[in-house]
Copies of this chain bind each other. A is one copy, B any other.
Amino acid sequence: MSRTIDPFTAVPKYFQLASILRQNIEDGEWAPRSPIPSERQLEVLYNISRTTIREAINSLVQQGYLYREHGRGTFVSPQKLQKGWMELTSFSEDLVKRGLVPGQIIRSLQLMQPPQRVLQRLELPAGSLVHRIERVRLADGTPIGLQTSYLSLAPGQEITMQEMEKAGSLDRILSEKFHIIPTEADETLEVTLATPEEAGLLQVATGAPLLLNERVLFSQERTPVEYVKILYRGDRYQYFVHLKRQAIAENPR
């Protein structure tokens, strides 16, 4: 790993510096709550202007690696490494974290006219076609969730069953094949009771409590890309989020 700044590469200096600082934090060379070198010191250490230093630090503060204290210094956050939310809300990663083996059964993949509700969520005109993918999610071999995804793709963009089975993850197909990287999402969670069909697929009794998760994913340009509905077995699933307040930057005085 580069421990110095290379002024000739196309990689911006602030980015290089941020990488170096992040390394120091992740490697544990800088203990939590201990101060990192002051901005003036870094200026000398790496022969970089303070503007650039602050840009690097800002990004790390924003990502939760560091926090500032006016008049005192900049410190390392005592934070268990938080992965991006995509990992956390991603089904597989989620299960692996709990020591379970994830799996899935793809029940269907089709191009179709979605129900009204989905059209609304995806902000599509009536009559639009979307990809619908229905999957049963498994944990250690037993069903844990019933997932239905509706994908809003540009005309001509297709997904085949083979791709789906090969890639395993829908997110991977989206990013690798279509260069779509969701950056925001709206999620709702509520409790429902299993219908006979759902009960059968999830191997629970009809009327058993389920956790219903609906999610709309937005692309970089704030366009709705995917609508996902997941029914989790209430007795075997726990939803997790890490929330971070946007620096509200309350009126300084």
Known: A222-B67, A238-B190. A183 touches B84 (CB 8 A): no
- Assess whether A12 is in contact with B189, with CB atoms less than 8 Å apart: no
Give the number of times this chain occurs in the complex, counting copies.
2
Whether the Cβ atoms of A10 and B222 lie closer than 8 Å is: no
For A211, what are the chain B residues with a Cβ–Cβ distance below 8 Å? 189-191
Instruction: Type the 1/0 row for A229-253, where 1 means its CB is closer than 8 Å to any CB of B.
Output: 0000011011111111111110111
User: Given A220-B67, A222-B67, A242-B185, do A190 and B78 touch, yes or no (CB 8 Å)?
Assistant: no
A240 partner residues in chain B, CB cutoff 8 A: 186-189
Please give, as numbers and ranges, the residues of chain B lying within 8 Å of A245 by CB-CB distance.
Answer: 84-86, 181-184
Contact between chains at B253 and A10 (CB < 8 Å): yes
Which 9 A-B pairs give the minimum distances between C-beta atoms? A191-B234, A209-B209, A189-B239, A190-B238, A185-B243, A183-B245, A191-B209, A85-B243, A187-B241
A-B contact pairs, 19 of them (CB 8 A): A10-B252, A15-B251, A63-B246, A64-B184, A67-B221, A67-B222, A85-B245, A85-B246, A86-B245, A184-B243, A184-B245, A185-B242, A186-B242, A189-B189, A189-B241, A190-B211, A190-B234, A190-B237, A191-B211
Known: A10-B252, A185-B243, A189-B211. 16 other contacts (CB 8 A): A11-B251, A11-B252, A12-B252, A15-B249, A15-B251, A62-B62, A63-B246, A67-B222, A84-B248, A85-B245, A181-B245, A184-B243, A187-B240, A188-B240, A189-B239, A191-B191
